[in-house]
Amino acid sequence: MSEKESSEEKSIKPLPLDIDDVIRFFESVTPDRICGHCDSASFVINADPNSKKHARLYAIPVFREKNKTAPVIIVRCDNCGAVYQHGYGHIKRWIDENPIEKFSDPEGDVEHSDREDD
Ligand SMILES: [Zn+2]
């Protein structure tokens, strides 16, 4: 029981991030991204093994804060395998400030635009 309590103290559980939103973040914030080691522009974002639609979060130790971790997302160069960590908080904040525009308008005529027979 004490083990559970201490793990709850360590860090607040971050909400999962939709991998499409994470891709939007990188395309918007780092559009000219190239690998610092090999100049490749091809990267892979690790997906959550339990839910492929979410980005996998990793916990890194917080400097000088015992038993405290911070969540990060890992982006890997598809060519040389170099790994880049990006702070979860930065990405989450950007996604919250830049929500995707969803067209859930019930009167929207886009959905049936190609059914005009008769
Ligand atoms: Zn590389």
Q: How far is the centre of ligand 1, averaged over its atoms, from the C-alpha of 103 (Å)?
A: 37
pLDDT of residue 103: 63
Distances from the Cα of 59 to the Cαs of 12, 55, 79, 111, in angstroms? 11, 13, 25, 42
| Domain regions of the chain by residue span | 7-97
Average pLDDT per run of 10 along the chain, which is 118 residues long?
Answer: 45 83 95 96 93 93 91 96 96 94 58 51
Cα 98 to the center of its chain, rounded Å = 13
In angstroms, the CA 83 to CA 90 distance is 18
Q: How far is the centre of ligand 1, averaged over its atoms, from the C-alpha of 33 (Å)?
A: 11
Classify residue 27 as left (phi > 0), alpha (psi -120 to 50) or beta: alpha
Q: Give pTM, 2 decimals.
A: 0.72
Q: What phi and psi values does residue 49 have, to the nearest 5 degrees?
A: -65, -20
pLDDT of residue 100: 82
Structure tokens at 96: 């919250």
